Amino acid sequence: MTATARQAARIAYPNMFDKWELRGTKYGLLDLALQNATMPQGIISSDLLTKAAQSWGQTIEIPVMSPALQANGTGLSCSFSGTEAISALVNVTWVTISNGFEMQPAKNFNNTIGYSAEFARKYTDSVRQMALAVDTAIDAALTTNITPAADYNSSYAGGIYPFTGNVLGVPSAIRADFFNNLVDVLAADDLTAVPFDVVGSTNMRGIVKQLFAQGDANDTNTAYQFQTGDFDFKFSNRVTLSALSDATGFVMPKGSVAILSRNAPDNLAGSVTTQGHVYGTMFEPVLGVDMDTLFYSACADINAISGNAADTSAMNEVHQMAVHYAILTPYDLPATDPSGVIRKFNLLT
């Protein structure tokens, strides 16, 4: 009877058994940059947003100005010589990131994992890889554009909060009042438009929650510094935790980091080549932008991956997607007043 013994009792797919193996992640930096792209008080004008979307093959130049500080005099003069206005053009730097996967319908014909389930898995994995890369790139862009230590005007900065490079350090012994004092650190540089955005490493969440929970009924009240709505907090695993720190974060006025995107003309037109290459666009909610897509298929020998020696001339599909994006932070003329607006800090161990 061994020849007719029952085979393995195989469960249908999809099921819930791999739900945590396939878990996603949060993209706090990307979410913030997307939100800021259309924020009225942000750094992206409607003109820039529109022209960026239409800029394929073009350089985008953003005209900017800086304060021209004319020294005060003691009276009027018939031979006055004024200070010339300071202007510049800022170029937008574009980055393209792409991913994709192959599908072989014949492979799924006698497989527990059906075509739709495999497609969904591969698509989700591809999007996640792109989103992780963009989230990481925003962390790098913010770090590149943090305010130099020498440009801080607050006596707290470099005093009770020492610098490591250009990153403000918060000793653990005086951490409890940091967010209260941070408002004053920013105000010393004429940054007063609350609430500020704070994007922290993941373990900052627990620290902030503990401080927020210490209210009037506790021996030490630290919740007072959050009751006036001075900060909006977000967290991301891509905010790089600095050495000897319990948490690392950025603080900035709302709208201070944003992301733009654009699409290639063939994708916008939905072009199809004589070889069967199909171009298109598709909105992807995780990335928050319209991706370029490219699909084509060809005859291929897939027997090594299907396990069927007869699959020597099966259809092989190629699905690709790409995002063309630019990360923008506020213009700041180096070594001049006023200072930059993006600040980085470490909650030290």
d(CA 260, CA 43): 11
How many domains does the chain fold into?
Answer: 1
Provide DSSP, 45-109: -HHHHHHHHT-TTS--EEEEEE---PPP-SS--TT--PPPPEEEEEEPPPEEEEEEEEE-HHHHT
The CA distance from 150 to 298, in Å, is 60
Angle at the Cα of 124 (from 259 to 329), degrees rounded to 5? 10
Peptide bond preceding 162 in cis form (omega within 30 of 0): no
SS3 sequence, 264-319? Answer: CHHHHHCCECCCCCEEEEEEECCCCEEEEEEEEEEEECCHHHHCCCCCCCEEEEEE
Cross-strand partners of 343: 251
What is the percent of the chain with per-residue pLDDT over 90, rounded to a whole number? 86
Q: What is the pTM of this model?
A: 0.91
Closest CA to 131 of 249, 330, 289, 320: 289
In a domain, 207, yes or no: yes
What was the pLDDT predicted at 218? 53
Parallel, antiparallel or unpaired: strands 343-348 and 167-170: parallel
Cβ contacts of residue 100 below 8 Å, gap of 6+?
126, 294, 318, 319, 320, 321
Whether residue 26 is contained in a domain is answered as no
Domain ranges, residue 219: 149-259+331-348
Q: What is the pLDDT of residues 33-47, one digit of tens each?
A: 999 999 998 999 999
Q: Which two tokens stand for residue 277?
A: 């290459």
Classify burial at 305, counting beta carbons within 10 Å of its beta carbon; exposed 0-12, middle 13-18, buried 19 or more. Answer: middle
Q: Is residue 223 part of a domain?
A: yes
Query: Which tens digit of pLDDT belongs to each residue from 144-183?
Result: 999 999 999 999 999 999 999 999 999 999 999 999 999 9
Look at the block and give the residue holding tokens 């004429």.
190
**In angstroms, rounded to a whole number, what is the distance separating the alpha carbons of residues 148 and 81?**
33
Helix (H) or strand (E) holding 236, with range, is strand 231-236
Classify residue 201: in a domain, yes or no: yes
- Output the pLDDT for position 338: 85
- Over residues 271-280, mean pLDDT: 97
Residue 179 domain-assigned?
Answer: yes
Classify residue 220: in a domain, yes or no: yes
In a domain? residue 84 = no
Query: What is the band of 336 on the pLDDT scale with cuts at 50, 70, 90?
Result: confident
Q: What is the DSSP letter of 3?
A: G
